[in-house]
């Protein structure tokens, strides 16, 4: 009996090869090839062109100049959870497809169950499709969350064709697929979770959403590297990509928008995990600030910008005597940028740390990717090295260049107003960010170079 022919498919790009290789020849990913059975020929007819019980994307349209096309803002329906609406850009969009990913047990299903219940109570018909749990398990979770008498429709199913038939019969406004990796289509022979199945199911669900105006929310698994599992084409097909971040040992969670065709990217929503589910945090700056009775050496507060939201984050530094190979370690900040800032400190501010261990941490588990943290990092390192604390109510922000200049940060006015609102009284900022009108209760020191900032701080202490 002839052996069935097999191929090897890349989990990262979907490319195929007839034999196993350590490195994918198409995208260069390592250890990403998985054995699978090739699909049988389908007679040349595109699977997506077959009627699936829903209308096509749109009828053929003539070529039209942009100026002649009527455009209007998309209507949004608030989900009932303010922090989630902030990340989505104001609420769910009719016909929008949202992909949300995160580590196992971080709270994806909990958040979506709460959102579906809020939408149902607001009068929108909803459908929650679970492929990982039974209906009884989801019902038990809803009882634990205190969602009594919920009218959210539940379907425990993993076959795509049955899900599409149910959607056509019930006509919900919002559908949750938990998760896309458990779904499979009868038109393919590969196992659920394979590259082909994930791509096929996502394509059909996206086409259904665009053809009927139903909002589809897909839950996606993540790999051990923290990226969404499956082919990258999955992220290109959807309208919005959200990442659920946070430490399972901490009660706080961040939902970050990586892609959003209907709103701003890099927006974040801050949640706290409680016995009754996820609750939005109205003042997230309080999470990222340590509660010191008195100022301590090595601590400097900065104002970072997450989307449209200014957040106050405490930067902590510890400089300790090192050996022949001093360590540079940063948590929440780029370690390569830390090495660059130490070199700038040595050359342009006369602060030498070449023989010292330097540890830098952003409090609260937040990750800061913008260069506006440079000045706060350098001041916290200097404070730890001198053993003298910065003044109470002190903040700083600004980008530092290799020549020692302090460059402005975007939306400096909003940052300063947020700091003043939370009671901060002294600020060292780039000269270009100095406001034309003084901000009540805030003493500003505008600097152009790193050595100026160091001299000002030394004069304060």
pLDDT band at 424 (very low <50, low <70, confident <90, very high): very high
Q: What is the pLDDT of residue 324?
A: 81
- 87-116 confidence digits (pLDDT tens): 998 899 999 999 999 888 888 999 999 999
- 148-182 confidence digits (pLDDT tens): 888 999 999 999 999 999 999 999 999 999 989 99
Between CA 202 and CA 451 the distance in angstroms is 55
Q: What is the pLDDT of residue 383?
A: 95
| CB-CB neighbours of 379 under 10 Å | 26
pLDDT band at 35 (very low <50, low <70, confident <90, very high): confident
Q: Is 103 annotated in some ligand binding site?
A: yes
Q: Is 421 annotated in some ligand binding site?
A: no
- 194-217 confidence digits (pLDDT tens): 878 888 899 999 999 999 999 999
pLDDT band at 46 (very low <50, low <70, confident <90, very high): low
- 376-405 confidence digits (pLDDT tens): 999 999 999 999 999 999 999 999 999 999
Count of residues for the chain? Answer: 461
Average pLDDT over residues 58-68: 78
CA-to-CA separations, 413 to 294, 373, 410, 457, in angstroms, rounded = 28, 16, 9, 22
Please say whether the dihedral angle defined by the alpha carbons of residues 335, 337, 341 and 343, taken in this order, is positive or negative. Answer: positive
Q: Which has the minimum average pLDDT: 135-139, 172-176, 261-265?
A: 261-265
Between CA 458 and CA 425 the distance in angstroms is 17
Q: Which residue has the higher pLDDT, 36 or 117?
A: 117
Between CA 433 and CA 428 the distance in angstroms is 10
Average pLDDT over residues 232-260: 86
How big is the CA angle at 440 (ends 434 and 444), to the nearest 5 degrees? Answer: 35
State the residue for tokens 């604390």. 389
pLDDT band at 309 (very low <50, low <70, confident <90, very high): confident
Q: Which residue has the higher pLDDT, 419 or 461?
A: 419
Q: Is 102 annotated in some ligand binding site?
A: yes
Q: What is the pLDDT of residue 51?
A: 43
Q: Which residue has the higher pLDDT, 416 or 187?
A: 416
Q: What is the pLDDT of residue 140?
A: 93
State the residue for tokens 């400096």. 412
Q: What is the pLDDT of residue 59?
A: 57
Q: What is the pLDDT of residue 214?
A: 96
Q: What is the pLDDT of residue 50?
A: 44
Q: Is 371 annotated in some ligand binding site?
A: no
Q: Is 387 annotated in some ligand binding site?
A: no
Question: Average pLDDT of the chain?
Answer: 87
pTM exceeding the 0.85 threshold for the entire prediction? no
| Element containing residue 7 per DSSP (H, E) | strand 7-10
| Element containing residue 155 per DSSP (H, E) | strand 153-156
Residue 290 pLDDT exceeds 90: no
Residue 310 pLDDT exceeds 80: yes
Structure tokens at 136: 């009884």
Q: Which has the minimum average pLDDT: 25-29, 191-195, 254-258?
A: 191-195
Q: Is 108 annotated in some ligand binding site?
A: yes
Q: What is the pLDDT of residue 283?
A: 82
Q: What is the pLDDT of residue 42?
A: 54
């Amino acid at each position: 009996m002839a052996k069935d022919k097999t191929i090897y498919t890349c989990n990262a790009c979907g490319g195929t090869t007839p034999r196993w290789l350590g490195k994918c020849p198409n995208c260069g990913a390592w250890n990403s090839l998985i054995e699978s059975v090739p699909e049988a020929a389908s007679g040349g007819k595109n699977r997506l062109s077959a009627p699936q019980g829903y209308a096509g994307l749109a009828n053929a349209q003539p070529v039209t100049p942009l100026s002649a096309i009527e455009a209007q803002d998309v209507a949004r329906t608030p989900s009932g959870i303010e922090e989630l609406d902030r990340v989505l850009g104001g609420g769910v969009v009719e016909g929008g497809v949202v992909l949300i990913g995160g580590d196992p047990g971080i709270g994806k299903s909990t958040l979506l169950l709460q959102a579906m219940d809020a939408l149902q109570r607001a009068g929108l018909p909803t459908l929650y499709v679970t492929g990982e749990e039974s209906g009884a398990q989801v019902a038990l979770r809803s009882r634990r969350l205190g969602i009594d008498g919920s009218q959210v429709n539940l379907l425990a199913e993993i076959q795509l064709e049955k899900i599409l038939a149910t959607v056509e019969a019930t006509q919900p406004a919002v559908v949750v697929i938990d998760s896309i990796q458990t779904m499979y289509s009868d038109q393919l022979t590969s196992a659920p979770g394979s590259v082909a199945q994930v791509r096929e199911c996502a394509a059909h669900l996206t086409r259904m959403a665009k053809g009927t105006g139903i909002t589809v929310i897909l839950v996606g698994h993540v790999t051990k590297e923290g990226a969404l599992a499956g082919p990258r084409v999955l992220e290109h097909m959807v309208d919005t990509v959200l990442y659920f971040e946070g430490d399972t040992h901490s009660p706080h969670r961040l939902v970050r928008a990586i892609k959003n065709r209907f709103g701003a990217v890099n927006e974040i929503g801050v949640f706290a995990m409680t016995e009754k589910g996820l609750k939005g945090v109205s003042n997230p700056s309080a999470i990222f600030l340590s509660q010191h009775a008195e100022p301590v050496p090595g601590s400097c507060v900065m104002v970072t910008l997450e989307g449209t939201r200014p957040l106050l984050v405490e930067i902590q530094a510890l400089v300790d005597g090192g050996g022949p190979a001093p360590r540079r370690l940063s948590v929440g900040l780029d370690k390569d940028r830390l090495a660059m800032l130490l070199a700038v400190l040595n050359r342009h501010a006369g602060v030498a740390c070449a023989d010292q261990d330097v540890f830098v941490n952003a409090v609260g588990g937040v990750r800061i990717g913008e260069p506006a943290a440079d000045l706060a990092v350098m001041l916290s390192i200097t404070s730890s090295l001198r053993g003298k604390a910065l003044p109470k109510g002190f903040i700083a922000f600004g980008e530092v260049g290799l020549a020692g200049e302090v460059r402005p940060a975007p939306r400096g006015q909003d940052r300063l107003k947020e700091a003043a609102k939370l009671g901060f009284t002294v600020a060292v900022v780039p000269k270009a960010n100095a406001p034309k009108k003084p901000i009540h209760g805030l003493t500003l020191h505008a600097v152009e170079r790193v050595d100026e900032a160091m001299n000002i701080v030394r004069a304060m202490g």
